[in-house]
Amino acid sequence: MSFSKYLCAYLSALAFTGACIADAYDAPAGYYNTATGTGATLKTQLGTLMTFGPDGVMDPSPFGGDDHRLRTYGDFRNASILFDTDPNNASNILLVYNRASNSGTWDSGSTWNREHVWPQSLQPGSASNSSTGNLGDHHALRPSNPGINSSRGNKPFGNLNSSGSFGAQTGGTYYPGDADAGDIARALFYSDTRYDATLTNLSTGLVGDINTLIHWNYADVPDDFERRRNHVIYSDVENPIFHQRNRNAFIDHPEYVWSIYGGGNNNSQLSVDGAANPDGSSTSTVDLGRVITGSAIPSTQTVGLLKSGADPTYYEVTASGDATSDVNGRFNAFIGGAGLNTLNVGLSGSTAAAGLLTGTVTVDNIDISTGGAGQGSADANDIVTVNLDVLDHSDASFASGLDMDLLTIDFGTLAVGGTVNSAFDLFNLESTLGFTADLDLDSIIGAGDTGVLGSNLAAFAGLGAGNSNGYMASFDTSSLGSFSASYTLNLSDEDIAGATNQVLTLQLLGEVTGTLVGDLDGDGFVGIDDLNLVLGNWNQNVPPANPLADPSGDGFVGIDDLNEVLGNWNAGTPPGTGAAVPEPGTIALLGLGAVAVMRRRAA
């Protein structure tokens, strides 16, 4: 169960009132309005805020107003269960250093005791159940395994390069473990700021090495456990009996650490997938491509977030519009030096309707100080734009204004002759302006008299919406008869997610009647028999319009008649089962006739 869900259930079970908001652990709006400075000024402002609340004024009554309500070392025995709660077991608490889950019931220190993060030996006075101040401050105390507490003793926290589990380090320092390193650092920064007048300054190194603590603040960012703990210690809703009414500012705003403890100016600069502009801004566009309506949104893509500059920084990631990011919120950090983190960005929303799904992911360097133009607080935002085109299906048609899936071209009845053409177009109708898929023609299957009735159709890809391709249908009229051919056009959307198929049909019809030019014997084929009729009457005068020897109709059998036959040679369908085969004598005559073509009859 998440901390947010657990918190709601916990309050309901105890009959507490108060709404669970999107982020239940944030400070109230305007809480840090007075924290406007940097460096020592900011530290003073935060000390006042954590002592006297947002109004900065001591309240007349200890039970009212927004002043820090001092709690005792003894109170922690019964209060820890409220803010150190194990999110997976509401009866248990998580112990510091080893993060072990332990019964939250106080057992007089048998299984857990109270660890002073700032060792009590380095504080004024000694701890008793009535002790207040930092000795009893719940922000500065953690439940701990007694043996681990003893082994830590008052060793200073240190060793910047440590990682892994808790334990003593070389040089007499102590490492709290990866899960608690940042938590411990921010608790010490709190105590140093809230009790500045009564504690030894943190910079002395007696409690911890300052550079190591700064490093831990960025290496281990506040998690839900730490943030919830901070909020419940503060809140009189979640914690009506032991609430303190003050917050650890370094958990709410870990970016304050560098300004106060890290040297002030910050020269970090962030950019997305490329060089930054002079003001530190940068942009990147992630194109998730094109999908058909109803398809799943493509997977996220990775964007590199680069950091330059020696100083560490925190950054905030905000997704807007339809954009998504696997990194969100303000609790993201780079440690010092150049670095590279990543964002997996994508889109959410519906693909039910055609259009553009888009959104932005904004990265804001939230350090509060600057080292110059485009650095730290002067580092302008970096923006990733994520786009996805959601497209309607393509719509193939033989007409521009309506969906026509069948086109019939009837050439009608024609006399014998050559090839006749008829133009037609193939359209991709645009369903949604700018968001309709391209059209592909994948294959063409012909049936019927495709040798007589044909087209120059050919497969293609990528016919854009609103566009068309022009083609020709052809009819070879050299043969007598009635003809028909059908062409099935198999089409599809462009090759993207959600693509579907569609089919169009082209129907071609035509009839050829009349006398076949050069067919002198009327057998439907221009061949050797027709040539023999011309050659057999060569140079003879015949009755006008004698179709058997004088196809030119000029009353003389000669070169014009021979050209009629030779110009349409082999047209039509041979009689019987095959084409006529010229006899040798006829072939010789054909040779003579060919020579005659080169001459003209004398006038």
Q: What is the pLDDT of residues 444-456, one digit of tens each?
A: 999 999 999 999 9
Q: pLDDT band at 62, cuts 50/70/90? A: low
Q: Which one, of 248, 246, 148, lies nearest residue 193 by Cα?
A: 248
Q: Please determine, for residue 477, whether its predicted confidence score (pLDDT) is greater than 60.
A: yes
Collapse the DSSP code of 510 into the 3-class scheme (helix H, G, I; strand E, B; otherwise coil) and give the result. Answer: strand
Q: Is residue 324 a contact partner of residue 346, using CB atoms and an 8 Å limit?
A: yes
Buried b (16+ CB within 10 A) or exposed e, 62-91: eeeebbbbebbbbbbbebbbbbbbbbeeee
pLDDT tens digits, residue range 483-519?
Answer: 999 999 999 999 999 999 999 999 999 999 987 778 8
Give the pLDDT confidence score for residue 586 in this predicted structure: 42
Q: Which one, of 550, 546, 521, lies nearest residue 534 by Cα?
A: 550
In the chain, the amino acid numbered 51 is: T
Q: Which one, of 382, 358, 377, lies nearest residue 366 by Cα?
A: 377
Q: Which domains does the chain have, with CATH numbers?
A: 38-261 (no CATH), 269-391 (2.60.40.10), 396-513 (2.60.40.10), 528-596 (no CATH)
- What is the arithmetic mean of pLDDT over 147-162? 95
Q: What are phi and psi of 81, to 5 degrees?
A: -60, -25
Output the pTM of the full model.
0.81
Q: Is residue 251 a contact partner of residue 94, using CB atoms and an 8 Å limit?
A: no
- What is the arithmetic mean of pLDDT over 164-177? 96
**Which class for 580: exposed (0-12), middle (13-18), buried (19 or more C-beta within 10 A)?**
middle
Rounded Cα distance, 348 and 357, in Å: 8
Residues across the chain: 603
